Amino acid sequence: RLEAVIFDLDGVITDTAEYHYLAWKRLAEELGLAFDRALNEQLKGIGRKESLEIILQANGKTAAEAEKEEWIARKNRYYLELLEQLTPAAVAPGVLALLQELKAHGIKIALASASKNAPLVLEKLQLTRYFDVIVDAGAVKKGKPDPEIFLTAAEQLQVHGGNCLGIEDAAAGIAAIKAAGMVAVGVGDKATLPAADLVVKTMNELNLSKLQACFTGVR
Ligand code: G6P
Ligand code: MG
Predicted complex ipTM exceeds 0.90:
yes
Model pTM score: 0.96
Peptide bond between residue 145 and the one before it cis (omega within 30 degrees of 0):
yes
Is the Cβ atom of 14 under 6 angstroms away from ligand 1? no
Longest CA–CA separation in the chain, Å: 52
The number of the ligand nearest the C-alpha atom of 79 reads 1
Digit-coded pLDDT (tens) for 112-127: 999 999 999 999 999 9
How far, in Å, is the centroid of ligand 2 from the Cα of 85? 19
CA of 209 to the centre of ligand 1 (A): 30
Q: Is residue 73 within 8 Å of residue 81, measured between CB atoms?
A: no
Instruction: Give dist(CA 129, CA 97) in Å, integer.
Output: 14
Check if 77 has its Cβ closer than 6 Å to any atom of ligand 1.
no
At residue 219, does pLDDT exceed 90?
A: no
User: Which positions are annotated as active-site residues?
Assistant: 8, 10
Distance of CA 41 to the CA centre of its chain: 12
* 159-185 pLDDT per residue, tens: 999 999 999 999 999 999 999 999 999
Summarised one tens digit per residue, pLDDT across range 36-59 is 999 999 999 999 999 999 999 999
Q: Is 134 close to ligand 1, i.e. is its CB under 6 Å away? A: no
With vertex at residue 17, the alpha carbon angle to CA 87 and CA 166, rounded to the nearest 5 degrees, is: 95
Give the ranges where the chain is alpha helix by DSSP (H). Answer: 16-31, 37-41, 48-58, 65-83, 95-104, 118-125, 148-157, 171-179, 208-218
Q: Render 74-115 in DSSP notation, one character per residue.
A: HHHHHHHHHHTT--GGGBPTTHHHHHHHHHHTT-EEEE--S-
Residues linked to residue 186 through DSSP beta bridges, in sequence order: 168, 199
Closest ligand 1 atom to Cα of 79: 14
